[in-house]
Amino acid sequence: MSQGPELIITEKDNAARRIAEILSGGSAESERRRGVNVYTWGGRRCIGLSGHVVGVDFPPEYDDWRDVEPVELIDAPIDKRPTQENIVSVLRLLARKAGRVVIATDYDREGELIGKEAYELVREVNDDVRIDRVRFSSITEREVKSAFENPDDLDFDLAAAGEARQIVDLVWGAALTRFLSLSARQLGDDFISVGRVQGPTLKLIVDREREIEAFDPEDYWELFADLAKRGGGADGTFEAQYFYCDDDGTEAERVTEEDAASEAYETLEAAATATVESVRRRTRTDDPPAPFNTTQFIRAAGSLGYSAQRAMSIAEDLYTAGYVTYPRTDNTVYPDDLDPRELLDAFVGTRQFGDDADALLEQDDIDPTEGDEETTDHPPIHPTGELPGAADLDDDEWEVYELVVRRFFATVAEPATWEHLRVVATVGADEGADLSLKANGKRLVEPGYHAVYPYSSASESFVPDVAEGEALAITDTSFEAKQTQPPRRYGQSRLIETMEDLGVGTKSTRHNVIQKLYDRGYIESDPPRPTRLARAVVEASEEFAERIVSEEMTAQLEADMQAITRGDADLEDVTTESREMLSEVFEGLMESGEAVGDHLRESLKADRTVGACPECGSDLVIRQSRQGSYFIGCDAYPECTNTLPLPSTGKPLLLEETCAEHGLAHVKMLAGRKTFVHGCPLCQAEAADAQADRVIGTCPDCGVGAASETPRDGGGGGAEAGGELAIKQLRSGSRLVGCTRYPECEYSLPLPRRGEIEVTDAACEEHDLPELRVVYDDDREPWDLGCPICNYREYQAEQGGGSELESVTGIGEKTAEKLQDAGIDDVSSLKEAEPDAVADRVDGVGPDTVREWQAKAD
């Protein structure tokens, strides 16, 4: 045995840092090697991986989709390759010299596999070092120390279960994805993908859409009366609803026969009073919610308007900054070592949470709620007690942080108490035409957790105190004709909850799967609706590869993985059987390949068809020019050359809604946060044609007396050519201030897409142009845009703010800030920088990344 230092390997850097801190008693030092943190103390070193650092894939000779028959992938070999080169190389370096290795990855199946990957990398360079495995369910001093005192061996069966999943997913996913893409001749960026998790998720959405379409609404009627307590004034009035008991004695409000409804209404309308028949009071407690797991967090953030993806991205940022715990967890039970009082103490004295924390601390005992799921890897999401400063978070981050804090507050708060009051009154009993009305009142007596958690509804409904036998005046009645409604579409959070119920996907992947469905053109809008392509993919799968769109495949795989874990089966058994099954699927598919392809292609075209061409009656479809910009062209091209332009920003999406005048589908332009609805492309073009250019001054590039100094390059014919500046509306929907000599002079300034542009009497002295104002047709304040040249300069200054660097390298604002901190504030200093030196100084950036940036800058 060698005498080198002990090497501890964790699943992520964050865990490495905390374990080093615990085991070293705070004395560990951190150094960066190739952008990877290594923590060192005593005779020990600790390094964090980044989840899987190796990935499974087919060998390179299988890379060309057209060269390899998809069916060949079923029995193709599978390689494991490093995917995180930097981490792998640092790991190898340290492992070579290690005297002992301890694998401390997460305590779950995937963690065991990640541990085994590390094990194999260590073994490649050091074949006799002792390799131990430690397991702990939370990174606390007690658990970590005890785990390191009782090391165990890696569970190779558990890891093999994970490997079986990798292989089955790759083989099924790749073979079927390539088959569908090839048969529809969809290669390149818009390939047609299917997989074990996205398949059933898409089918959920498609099935719901089928139910909605097949839904046959039924008419029904409901009757209401306003009842007033005598002498109670306006405050004593409340609404009651007609009800009856149906044949099996259950209470019903909906009347399905119009005659019966009318007859009841006649009685109600004729009556002046209703007599209280019964009054029932009940006290109900309303328990506070369970701690947040990922799914419930996403759901709560969803009700604040965040998409699943966005909610998780914010939570990850808050986690990295140290304000909340790890956001990927299934656990809904706080661990024993979480002391709620101690955590509440952290909020005492703060402006936003101080009062609530004080109030909670005054409770006699604090007993947090618990959910059904108790796992051991990570705690439920809760605040860490480290508080962000006022400037540390933007508005969205703050809103999500507050949600997490308040959820924690709610879980340690008292239940709420409601008083329910149910009043039943009868009408027309004297005349023998007995008719019942009911009203349910709800009053919050003890707010309990609602006082600290305003996100769940605590709305009251008023019903006054009345006594049995009391006569109430009927002050108003209504007769409402309604229809049963189709089932509702899944919202993103509901979809994630359903996936969790079915066991499809994991806490870390479910939100990404939904995003992937959007990116692949399978769903659009929110709540998501399936595209024609999605239906075609589900239909084809149902016919030939039902497993790939059914949650059964996951259930079966889960059972197989458990068998491997128990030692009742091995990886070979499971993958062989799965490959045989896939071979059978392919027999059917290959026979019908052409029909499947035709169907997919028709659906793709349907997703792009805007409507009938007004010139020739063929289809108008969305096309892409060679330069990559989108436009609408006629399917009969070149016989028909009719085209309509589309806005230059974003990717077009056709909406269900069509234009009443032209019958064309409305267009939405997807551009992240700048997404907007373009509407009917023909209406836009016609509006532009009808809108005369409004001249507002001389063109600074080519107008009479044009100054030589201009804010931007024009292609103009030089000064004195007589160009004028005008407000123009283009057929693509864009608006701008541009030269009347276009296209000879290309001088232009952008204008906002929305609102009506007014030319005011005020003028800009510098540019001799009138100031503009944008007026909106809703209740928004008008926007004083001012001189268009000054406005554009300000806009550019805002956009560009220090960031040639950002636009050249494509890095985000935050990375740019970090680079600036490291002394790199422009492109030239980036080019001169030493990649390793940059990687050492900038967190989360490796030397390879720096080299990539440098390549882009060149």
Write out the residues near DNA by the rule CB under 7 A.
11-14, 48, 50-53, 55-58, 62-66, 73, 83-84, 106, 108, 110, 114, 165-166, 169-170, 173-174, 177-178, 181, 187-188, 191, 193-199, 316, 320, 328, 505-509, 512-513, 516, 844
> β-strands 100-104, 130-133: how paired?
parallel
In the complex with DNA, which residue's Cβ is closer, 9 or 228? 9
Closest by Cα among 425, 154, 489 to 273: 425
The three-class DSSP label of residue 747 is: coil
In the complex with DNA, which residue's Cβ is closer, 15 or 680? 15
In the complex with DNA, which residue's Cβ is closer, 187 or 775? 187
Q: Which helix (H) or strand (E) holds 802?
A: none
Q: Please write down the HEC assignment for all residues of 381-423.
A: ECECCCCCCCCCCCHHHHHHHHHHHHHHHHHCCCCEEEEEEEE
Peptide bond into 59 cis (omega under 30): no
Q: What are phi and psi of 29, to 5 degrees?
A: -110, 145
The single residue listed with the structure tokens 């896939």 is 582
The three-class DSSP label of residue 540 is: helix
In the complex with DNA, which residue's Cβ is closer, 66 or 282? 66
- Nearest distance in Å: CB 13, DNA: 5
In the complex with DNA, which residue's Cβ is closer, 81 or 780? 81
- Nearest distance in Å: CB 395, DNA: 20
In the complex with DNA, which residue's Cβ is closer, 293 or 609? 293
In the complex with DNA, which residue's Cβ is closer, 45 or 450? 45
- Nearest distance in Å: CB 46, DNA: 14
In the complex with DNA, which residue's Cβ is closer, 48 or 383? 48
Q: What are phi and psi of 661, to 5 degrees?
A: -80, -45
Q: What is the DSSP string of 137-176?
A: SS--HHHHHHHHHS-B---HHHHHHHHHHHHHHHHHHHHH
With b for 16 or more beta-carbon neighbours within 10 A and e for fewer, the 511-522 pattern comes to bbbbbbbbebbb
Q: What is the DSSP string of 673-701?
A: GG-EEEE-HHHHHHHHHHS--EEEEE-TT
- Nearest distance in Å: CB 61, DNA: 11
- Nearest distance in Å: CB 576, DNA: 18
- Nearest distance in Å: CB 195, DNA: 2
- Is there a contact between 297 and 326 (Cβ–Cβ < 8 Å)? no
In the complex with DNA, which residue's Cβ is closer, 426 or 508? 508
Q: Which helix (H) or strand (E) holds 479?
A: strand 471-483
Q: What are phi and psi of 184, to 5 degrees?
A: -90, 5
- Nearest distance in Å: CB 101, DNA: 19
In the complex with DNA, which residue's Cβ is closer, 199 or 528? 199
In the complex with DNA, which residue's Cβ is closer, 520 or 678? 520
The three-class DSSP label of residue 617 is: coil
- Nearest distance in Å: CB 50, DNA: 4
Burial class (CB in 10 A: 0-12, 13-18, 19+), 546: middle
Could you give the angle at which helices 354-361 and 395-411 cross, rounded to 10 degrees? 10
For residue 691, what are the contacts with CB-CB under 8 A and spacing of at least 6?
728, 729
In the complex with DNA, which residue's Cβ is closer, 74 or 772? 74
| Active-site residue list | 326
Q: CA dist 768 to 577, 765, 791, 795, Å?
A: 79, 5, 14, 19
Report the alpha-carbon distance of residue 746 to residue 742 in Å, rounded: 6
Q: CA dist 554 to 168, 196, 502, 559, Å?
A: 11, 7, 9, 9
Q: Which helix (H) or strand (E) holds 491?
A: none
Report the alpha-carbon distance of residue 553 to residue 560 in Å, rounded: 10
**274 is written with which tokens?**
């209703």
- Nearest distance in Å: CB 125, DNA: 21
Which amino acid makes up residue 66? R
Closest by Cα among 95, 86, 105, 92 to 37: 86
- Nearest distance in Å: CB 390, DNA: 24
The three-class DSSP label of residue 745 is: coil
Report the alpha-carbon distance of residue 495 to residue 489 in Å, rounded: 9
Cβ neighbour number for residue 543 with a 10 Å cutoff: 14
- Nearest distance in Å: CB 481, DNA: 46
Category of 505 on φ-ψ map: left (φ > 0), alpha (ψ -120 to 50) or beta: left
In the complex with DNA, which residue's Cβ is closer, 15 or 227? 15
With b for 16 or more beta-carbon neighbours within 10 A and e for fewer, the 203-217 pattern comes to bbbbebbeeeeeeee
